[in-house]
């Protein structure tokens, strides 16, 4: 043995401890973090201390990869994707990061050596709920896949102090509890006090001549606040690439305090401080835009302004002249929430960097791409011109000028078609004038995409018909996907191990199409048996968890029939309720012949102000209270509501589902991603031809999918020729008796009025055509039951669903964006060389 220089030995030892991947290094770092960061030793550590130490130990290893990635991206001037999203529904970090680092087993064994249970530590993590549902979860899947696909990227968003509310169920009703997720500290983020930008609001604009005699505009805001960056590293799977999620927190600028202090207005200063901080205080808990909510517009401008200023700063620091901005960056708008970025980049280039309009527009227009997420008219964002002008007077001028030039182009192309000009304008006229954010996003972007084939076709045929006629080459489809790391490897370790064992490799985790290799084993009785055992174990886990979370006992032998997603009339949770009531009535009438024992499981939050959605939750729990307590039926059917559906609880649900309910009215669900997560975990789908259901059915085979209901075209046709739900109600005795049973008060302690708003709406209006699809849905459910009785057939269908689901990986979606929309290529970070590639 040589005797090394003691200083050197210490350094290499340290290096090893903080970044090494051996069990010894992990264990030492864990104990060090427990001691030096949490100030505890093993014997007195609380579960939270243990979680924090595990998180810091994992983070140490992330940081190494992240810093190396950042160096390579910077020195190589790599083209970079900036994903702009008002929401990121990340889910717990620890388990995902362990998987992507490849140290889950090592961490488990280190835990055992220390007498600790890794699963208990993972349970401690409170997830950052910085999103409402599908859209925010998509952004989180995309960030993970961007890293896995080795594409340089920055995710920009808002560091909400309070995320989506926690849902409790009291007396069957949803009760919202504030989500104080930062209360115990967030070990995954790194505050960047030196990365701060000012953001202005209000005031006025003025014209002036600059020192070169050019006529220019100046914005004098009446309020200026600061945005400070908080960075979270996002690691890819099986790669050293890590990207950056940069979230902005609003705060009062320091100078503000001084001024007030000098004038003795102490309370005024504190108040201004609070005022500023409210901007990133809370996530709006609604899937749809909040009509006229000033704070919401402030939030949007806040994060967009910080993000665009940051991109300009990065460009000037690395590449240099702003003329090449659109070569360095592509910015993806996740829905219209960040559409103000178009006007903000124009403002920065025109007013702060003295560019001509033509050049600024050329850069801006080449920078942005826009993803549309909905066709529902109530979900299309518009802002009244008066509010817009009061908050963002300079941006309104810019929007007007974009519009003036754009409408001239339209007039030139479609001579004399003023109706078209009217429809395409960025400003809706007639009544209160409003800024149409979707039109701004389309005009300001070089590519526009929908999120599933059907949706993208409907985008071109309906919502943006005029735009697709003007710029057909601008419109694309990129079908959504989800990350198999979280929704298979983390959520369903048993299934993942079975797949790995059967295929003989783990490559399917990064190349999900390789799940096809399972097809060769579909008839293998031993494999089928193992497949069923995996599902059964997941159902037992869920049943145990449900018992303590909701008090409902579920029988793992029964068919787990699950619908978990935000509550919305278009998603038609009430259609599933009608099926439960039908089963209940048939059991009461002694006709259980073609039923199988079923657990009807629901999960999902309702927007706090969405009365009908909350009434649907109450109805489910009310039906459950009757069914679950009726010994005549409760051996056959059970109803369970999983409270607080979020990413963490979703991970318990997807692996345990036999049947996935994707029953929206065709034409209404843009894509859906829950449908993909269920299918990846071996659930069969009962669904309409809506969103990505269409493509899932094509992929897994029509014979392995339970299809029912009208097509989008049929639904539209029927709406146009006069849809009369009350005739359906009158003419179908079973439908009538199901609805009448709700109105009878059976589920509401004799109150015949409680559910009237819901049943009256169904019978008289039924905007989402529940009654039109009722009969077909029941018939299809009968097929589901019959198929479930044939265990072997069901197992085969389940295996084939997983084997053929590969294209719904978000890796595939990201590669499509990279190739067709972003024109960006992967940059490999080589861990061995310390970063250079």
Ligand X SMILES: *Cc1c(COP(=O)(O)O)cnc(C)c1O
Specify whether 293 is catalytic.
Answer: no
Q: Is 672 in the site for ligand X (CB under 6 A)?
A: yes
Contact 81, 153 (CB under 8 A): yes
Interaxial angle between packed helices 525-550 and 493-503, expressed in degrees from 0 to 180 and rounded to the nearest 10: 170
Rounded to the nearest whole angstrom, what is the least distance from the CB of residue 570 to ligand X in the complex? 10
- Output the six-digit token pair for 381: 């964002």
- Output the six-digit token pair for 487: 């929704």
- Output the six-digit token pair for 709: 């209901």
Q: Is 621 in the site for ligand X (CB under 6 A)?
A: no
Complete DSSP assignment for 535-549: HHHHHHHHHHHHHHH
Per the DSSP assignment, residues forming a β-bridge with 80 are 329
Specify whether 565 is catalytic.
Answer: yes
Q: Which stretch binds ligand X (CB under 6 A): 172-180, 238-246, 331-339, 666-674?
A: 666-674
Taken in order 260, 262, 265, 267, the sign of the CA dihedral is positive
* Contact pick of 111, 187, 674, 682 for ligand X (by CB under 6 A): 674
CB nearest ligand X: which residue? Answer: 674
In the complex with ligand X, which residue's Cβ is closer, 167 or 309?
A: 167
Q: Is 647 in the site for ligand X (CB under 6 A)?
A: yes
Q: Is 646 in the site for ligand X (CB under 6 A)?
A: yes
Q: Footprint of ligand X on residues 467-526 (CB under 6 A)?
A: none
Contact 738, 581 (CB under 8 A): yes
CA distance 587 to 434: 54
Rounded to the nearest whole angstrom, what is the least distance from the CB of residue 764 to ligand X in the complex? 27
Pairing of strands 173-177, 242-251: unpaired
In the complex with ligand X, which residue's Cβ is closer, 253 or 672?
A: 672
311 Cβ contact list (under 8 Å, min separation 6): 82, 325, 329, 331
Q: Which stretch binds ligand X (CB under 6 A): 71-79, 453-461, 594-602, 668-676?
A: 668-676
φ, ψ of residue 564 to 5 degrees: the values are -135, 115
In the complex with ligand X, which residue's Cβ is closer, 249 or 373?
A: 373
Q: Footprint of ligand X on residues 538-557 (CB under 6 A)?
A: none
692 Cβ contact list (under 8 Å, min separation 6): 451, 452, 479, 480, 671, 672, 673, 675, 676, 808
> Shortest CA distance to 147 belongs to which of 69, 77, 72, 91?
69
In the complex with ligand X, which residue's Cβ is closer, 672 or 725?
A: 672
CA distance 72 to 69: 5
Q: Which stretch binds ligand X (CB under 6 A): 63-71, 146-154, 639-647, 710-718?
A: 639-647
The SS3 assignment for 200 reads strand
> Shortest CA distance to 125 belongs to which of 94, 160, 168?
94
In the complex with ligand X, which residue's Cβ is closer, 65 or 652?
A: 652
Q: Is 643 in the site for ligand X (CB under 6 A)?
A: no
Taken in order 146, 147, 149, 150, the sign of the CA dihedral is positive
Catalytic residue, chosen from 249, 420, 565, 579, is: 565
The SS3 assignment for 207 reads strand
In the complex with ligand X, which residue's Cβ is closer, 403 or 573?
A: 573
Q: Is 687 in the site for ligand X (CB under 6 A)?
A: no
Q: Is 285 in the site for ligand X (CB under 6 A)?
A: no
The residue count for binding ligand X (CB under 6 A) is 14
In the complex with ligand X, which residue's Cβ is closer, 139 or 742?
A: 139
In the complex with ligand X, which residue's Cβ is closer, 134 or 236?
A: 134
CA distance 422 to 411: 11
* Contact pick of 61, 137, 486, 638 for ligand X (by CB under 6 A): 137
Quick count: other Cβ atoms within 10 Å of Cβ 823?
12
φ, ψ of residue 196 to 5 degrees: the values are -135, 140
In the complex with ligand X, which residue's Cβ is closer, 672 or 806?
A: 672
> Shortest CA distance to 709 belongs to which of 789, 781, 801, 601?
781
Specify whether 614 is catalytic.
Answer: no
In the complex with ligand X, which residue's Cβ is closer, 73 or 567?
A: 567
Pairing of strands 475-477, 382-384: unpaired
* Contact pick of 347, 565, 579, 638 for ligand X (by CB under 6 A): 565
Residues 107-136, one symbol each (x = binds ligand X by CB under 6 A, - = not), give --------------------------xx--
Rounded to the nearest whole angstrom, what is the least distance from the CB of residue 690 to ligand X in the complex? 11
Catalytic residue, chosen from 79, 159, 296, 566, is: 566
> Shortest CA distance to 325 belongs to which of 271, 364, 276, 285?
364
* Contact pick of 221, 393, 444, 650 for ligand X (by CB under 6 A): 650
Q: Is 810 in the site for ligand X (CB under 6 A)?
A: no
Rounded to the nearest whole angstrom, what is the least distance from the CB of residue 576 to ligand X in the complex? 13
Q: Is 334 in the site for ligand X (CB under 6 A)?
A: no
Q: Which stretch binds ligand X (CB under 6 A): 25-33, 34-42, 672-680, 787-795?
A: 672-680
Catalytic residue, chosen from 673, 685, 688, 787, is: 673
Specify whether 677 is catalytic.
Answer: yes
The SS3 assignment for 639 reads strand
Rounded to the nearest whole angstrom, what is the least distance from the CB of residue 491 to ligand X in the complex? 10
In the complex with ligand X, which residue's Cβ is closer, 127 or 161?
A: 127
10 Å CB burial of residue 688 (0-12, 13-18, 19+) is buried
Q: Is 96 in the site for ligand X (CB under 6 A)?
A: no
> Shortest CA distance to 770 belongs to which of 732, 801, 800?
732
375: left (phi over 0), alpha (psi -120 to 50) or beta: alpha
Q: Footprint of ligand X on residues 231-270 (CB under 6 A)?
A: none
Specify whether 390 is catalytic.
Answer: no
Q: Which stretch binds ligand X (CB under 6 A): 366-374, 644-652, 707-715, 719-727?
A: 644-652
- Output the six-digit token pair for 249: 């927190």
Show which residues are catalytic: 373, 565-566, 571, 673, 677
Q: Which residues contribute to the site for ligand X (CB under 6 A)? A: 89, 133-134, 137, 565-566, 645-647, 650, 672-674, 677
């Amino acid at each position: 043995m040589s005797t090394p220089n003691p200083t050197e030995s210490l350094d290499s030892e340290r290096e090893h401890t903080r970044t090494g991947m051996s069990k010894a290094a992990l264990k030492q770092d864990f104990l060090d973090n427990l001691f030096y960061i949490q100030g505890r030793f093993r014997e007195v550590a609380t579960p939270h201390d243990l979680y924090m130490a595990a998180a810091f130990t994992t983070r140490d290893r992330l940081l190494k990869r992240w810093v190396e990635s950042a160096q390579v991206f910077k020195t190589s001037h790599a083209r970079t994707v900036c994903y702009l999203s008002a929401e990121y529904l990340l889910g717990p970090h620890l388990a995902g990061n362990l998987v992507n680092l490849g140290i889950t087993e090592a961490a488990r064994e280190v835990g055992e050596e220390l007498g600790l249970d890794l699963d208990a530590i993972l349970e401690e993590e409170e997830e950052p709920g910085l999103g409402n549902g599908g859209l925010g979860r998509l952004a989180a899947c995309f960030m993970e896949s961007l890293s896995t696909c080795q594409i340089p990227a920055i995710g920009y968003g808002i560091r909400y102090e309070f995320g989506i509310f926690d849902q409790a169920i009291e007396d069957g009703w949803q009760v919202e509890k504030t989500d104080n997720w930062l209360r115990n500290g967030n070990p995954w983020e790194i505050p960047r006090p030196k990365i701060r930008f000012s953001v202005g609001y209000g005031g006025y604009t003025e014209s002036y001549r600059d020192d070169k005699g050019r006529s220019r505009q100046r914005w004098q805001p009446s309020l200026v606040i600061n945005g400070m960056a908080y960075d979270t590293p996002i690691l890819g799977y099986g790669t050293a690439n890590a990207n950056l999620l940069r979230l902005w927190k609003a705060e009062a600028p320091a100078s503000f305090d001084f001024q007030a202090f000098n004038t003795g207005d102490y309370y005024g200063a504190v108040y201004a401080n609070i005022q500023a901080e409210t901007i990133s205080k809370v996530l709006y808990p609604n899937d749809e835009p909040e009509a006229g909510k000033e704070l919401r517009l402030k939030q949007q401008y806040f994060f967009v302004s910080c993000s665009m200023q940051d991109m300009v700063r990065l460009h000037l620091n690395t590449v240099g002249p702003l003329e090449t901005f659109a070569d360095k960056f592509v910015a993806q708008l996740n829905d219209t929430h960040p559409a103000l970025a178009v006007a903000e980049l124009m403002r920065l280039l025109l007013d702060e960097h003295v560019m001509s309009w033509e050049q600024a527009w050329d850069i801006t227009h080449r920078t942005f791409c826009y993803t549309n997420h909905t066709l529902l008219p109530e979900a299309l964002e518009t802002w009244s011109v008066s509010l817009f002008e009061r908050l963002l007077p300079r941006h309104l001028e810019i929007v007007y000028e974009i519009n003036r030039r754009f409408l001239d182009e339209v007039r030139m192309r479609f001579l004399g078609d003023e109706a078209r000009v009217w429809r395409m304008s960025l400003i809706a006229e007639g009544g209160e004038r409003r800024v149409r954010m979707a039109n701004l996003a389309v005009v300001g972007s070089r590519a526009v995409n929908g999120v599933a084939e059907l949706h993208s076709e409907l985008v071109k045929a309906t919502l943006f018909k005029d735009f697709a006629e003007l710029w057909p080459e601008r419109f694309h489809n990129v079908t959504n996907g989800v990350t198999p790391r979280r929704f298979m490897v983390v959520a369903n370790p048993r299934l993942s191990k079975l797949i790995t064992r059967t295929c003989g490799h783990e490559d399917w985790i990064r190349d999900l199409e390789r799940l096809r290799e399972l097809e060769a084993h579909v008839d293998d009785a031993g494999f089928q048996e193992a497949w069923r055992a995996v599902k059964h174990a997941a159902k037992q886990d869920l049943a145990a968890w449900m018992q303590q979370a909701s008090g409902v006992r579920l029988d793992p032998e029964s068919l787990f029939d699950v619908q978990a997603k935000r509550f919305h009339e278009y998603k038609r949770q009430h259609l599933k309720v009608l099926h439960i009531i039908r089963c209940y009535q048939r059991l009461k009438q002694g006709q259980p012949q073609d039923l199988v024992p079923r657990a009807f499981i629901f999960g999902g939050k309702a927007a706090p102000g969405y009365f009908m959605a909350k009434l649907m939750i109450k109805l489910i729990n009310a039906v459950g209270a009757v069914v679950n307590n009726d010994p005549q039926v409760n051996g056959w059917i059970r109803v369970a509501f999983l409270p607080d559906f979020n990413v963490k609880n979703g991970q318990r649900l997807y692996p345990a589902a036999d049947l996935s309910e994707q029953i929206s009215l065709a034409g209404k669900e843009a894509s859906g991603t829950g449908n993909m997560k269920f299918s990846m975990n071996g659930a069969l789908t009962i669904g309409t031809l809506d969103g990505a259901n269409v493509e899932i059915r094509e992929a897994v085979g029509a014979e392995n999918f339970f299809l029912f209901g009208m097509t989008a075209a049929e639904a539209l046709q029927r709406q146009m020729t006069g849809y009369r739900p009350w005739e359906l109600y009158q003419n179908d005795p079973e439908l009538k008796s199901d609805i009448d049973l709700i109105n009878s008060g059976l589920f509401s302690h004799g109150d015949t009025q409680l559910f009237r708003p819901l049943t009256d709406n169904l019978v008289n209006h039924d905007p989402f055509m529940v009654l039109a699809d009722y009969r077909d849905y029941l018939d299809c459910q009968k097929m589901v039951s019959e198929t479930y009785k044939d265990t072997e057939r069901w197992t085969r269908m389940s295996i084939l669903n997983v084997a053929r689901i590969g294209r719904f990986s978000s890796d595939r979606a990201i590669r499509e964006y990279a190739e067709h929309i972003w024109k960006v290529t992967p940059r490999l970070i080589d861990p061995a060389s310390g970063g250079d590639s």
